[in-house]
Amino acid sequence: MTMEEIFKKMQSLIAEQFAMDEEEITMDSSFVDDLNADSVDLVELVMAMEEEFDVGEIEEDELTGLKTVKDCVRFLSSKLGD
């Protein structure tokens, strides 16, 4: 799966999770600053990512560097072996 494909899936997941349009979500969108995510939102998003991308359980220490959509796309890309 390419980074672009991962991004498109992430856009869709985030749009659904945060009740917003996919077009509003960019690679540089910050979960806290741009999407106004709180810790509950982020936990739900991580669970959705685990299910959507079938990457198993994402460890808490792996999440600390995931501040933007781009961070998640890169993380998922490495998990998926691209």
Q: Compute the distance between CA of residue 55 and CA of residue 34 in angstroms, rounded to an integer.
A: 26
Dump pLDDT digits (tens) for 47-78.
999 999 999 999 888 888 899 999 999 999 99
Model confidence band, residue 4 (pLDDT cutoffs 50, 70, 90): very high
Catalytic residue among 38, 54, 71, 82: 38
Model confidence band, residue 3 (pLDDT cutoffs 50, 70, 90): very high
Domain 3-80 has CATH 3.40.630.30: no
Concerning whether 54 is annotated as a catalytic residue, the answer is no
Angle between helices 69-80 and 3-18 (to 10 degrees): 130
> Minimal CA–CA distance to 31: which of 15, 42, 43?
42
